[in-house]
């Protein structure tokens, strides 16, 4: 039997890079997808140094024709056993704006939600034929507590969460497991664009360990840090005035 692949999108930095390096240490055969070729090559080199068979692929996941070709080439070499949909961008209200502009909203929704779902459906046929496989979708606590300074980001993550939970039930009898991770603030190049308070922020490597532990336990939804996770989940159940008061200290704008 051919050795299977773990495929990670958005692997050139942040959580994606940390997941790649952790899985490399665990002996996974990796195919890494990212937009930044230089950073992606560096992550791939670190994975190889940890003993992993690792191949980088420079792709913008919004280019679905190229992405389909890349994923098909990976499947031709070996089955995709684990697909981690991590690629995403942060955009929202810029300094001096009351709300994000339409172009930013479209870009975020296309990258974080529509292209992520398209990628899942590129790997699903092989998994369904084999009746085995795992899908890990990286959402955010913003899926539960929408951020007024990043409405499209919040909507995309909420959509990805709902999609993943629904897909888990749809595929439960086909041997395919689906997990959705909802991390809070994680130190990364993307989070550096978030100009505001980031309570409970943790390093990307620590986030990767928590996410993979939840994956191994086959949790439908995982979120952290614990206090922020549960306060986020409960936020839409409280009166708007209380929710607004609680979110006041989390206002931000996007830089870069």
Q: What is the pLDDT of residues 185-213, one digit of tens each?
A: 998 766 556 555 677 789 999 999 999 99
Q: What is the pLDDT of residues 39-64, one digit of tens each?
A: 999 999 999 999 999 999 999 999 99
CATH topology of domain 5-254: Rossmann fold (3.40.50)
Let me know the angle formed at the C-alpha of 175 by 140 and 61, rounded to the nearest 5 degrees. Answer: 45
Residue range 108-122: mean pLDDT, rounded: 98
Q: What is the pLDDT of residues 151-186, one digit of tens each?
A: 999 999 999 999 999 999 999 999 999 999 999 999
Model-wide pTM > 0.85: yes
The catalytic site residues sit at 153
% of the chain exceeding 70 in pLDDT: 91
Q: What is the pLDDT of residues 10-24, one digit of tens each?
A: 999 999 999 999 999
């Amino acid at each position: 039997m051919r050795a299977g692949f773990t495929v990670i999108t958005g692997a050139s930095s942040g959580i994606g890079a940390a997941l790649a390096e952790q899985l490399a240490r665990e002996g996974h055969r990796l195919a890494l997808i990212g937009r930044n070729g230089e950073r992606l090559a560096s992550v791939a080199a670190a994975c190889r140094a940890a003993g992993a068979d690792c191949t980088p692929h420079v792709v913008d996941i919004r280019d679905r024709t190229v992405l389909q070709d890349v994923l098909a080439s990976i499947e031709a070499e070996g089955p995709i056993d684990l697909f981690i949909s991590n690629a995403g961008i942060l955009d929202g209200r810029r300094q001096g704006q009351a709300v994000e502009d339409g172009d930013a909203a479209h870009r975020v929704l296309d990258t974080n939600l529509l292209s992520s779902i398209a990628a899942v459906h590129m790997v699903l046929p092989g998994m369904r034929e084999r009746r085995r496989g795992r899908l890990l979708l990286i959402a955010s606590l913003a899926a539960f507590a929408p951020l007024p300074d990043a409405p499209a980001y919040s909507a995309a993550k909420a959509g990805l969460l709902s999609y993943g939970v629904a897909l888990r039930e749809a595929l439960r009898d086909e041997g395919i497991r689906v997990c959705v991770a909802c991390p809070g603030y994680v130190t990364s190049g993307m989070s550096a664009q978030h100009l505001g308070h980031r309570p409970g922020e943790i390093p990307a490597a620590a986030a990767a360990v928590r996410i993979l532990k939840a994956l191994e336990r086959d949790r439908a939804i995982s979120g952290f840090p614990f206090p922020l996770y549960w306060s986020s989940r409960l936020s839409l159940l409280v009166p708007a005035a209380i929710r607004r008061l609680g979110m006041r200290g989390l206002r931000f704008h996007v830089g870069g």
